[in-house]
Amino acid sequence: MSSTTGRFLYYYKIPLGTLGFIDENDALTHILFPNSVIPDGAVIRETPLIRQAFAEISEYLSGDRETFDLPLAPKGTPFQEKVWQALQTIPYGQTISYQELARRVDKPTATRAVGMANHHNPLPIVIPCHRVVGKNGSLTGYAGGLDLKRYLLALESRQHILL
């Protein structure tokens, strides 16, 4: 892959809506849902990494990919980054509770803080925050909406669901 210096943003339409991808210095930093805030300073330009990210997301959504091979560089607080690293250990097709996620980051009483870190995940789908559910298995919050969360979980469990 060629070296790309700067912050580049490009959008693609997919069956679920429009997704934006941000490549910053050859690492994916954001995947944007339609209601996402666009980080300052991004130049609209498709890059090889953005094309790769779109291809991998497309393969994932068609059921042909379970993991991603993308260089990631999410930026957050040390606590957020720890939560985002823990999210990446949740296997495809499985879910855990916010309480379990808090335990995994050594903050067993910090379920609300874990929920907020989940909410601020800049790389949804690739960093699978959709795999975190309420203690009783209920679907709770998702930046892309609960219908999309339900769809992604059904996709991973090989169930068919329409949005």
Interior angle at CA 132, CA 127 and CA 135, nearest 5: 165
Unique residue bearing structure tokens 């309420």:
134
In the set 42, 129, 152, 153, the catalytic residue is 129
Strand partners, 72: 28
Other CB atoms within 10 A of residue 25 CB:
14
What is d(CA 80, CA 78) in angstroms, rounded to the nearest whole number?
6
124 counts as catalytic: no
What is d(CA 14, CA 35) in angstroms, rounded to the nearest whole number?
15
Helix H, strand E, coil C: the string for 64-80 is CCCCCCCCECCCCCHHH
Q: Let me know: does 14 contact 55? Beta carbons within 8 Å.
A: no
Strands 43-44 and 132-133, by their bridges, are unpaired
Catalytically annotated residues: 129
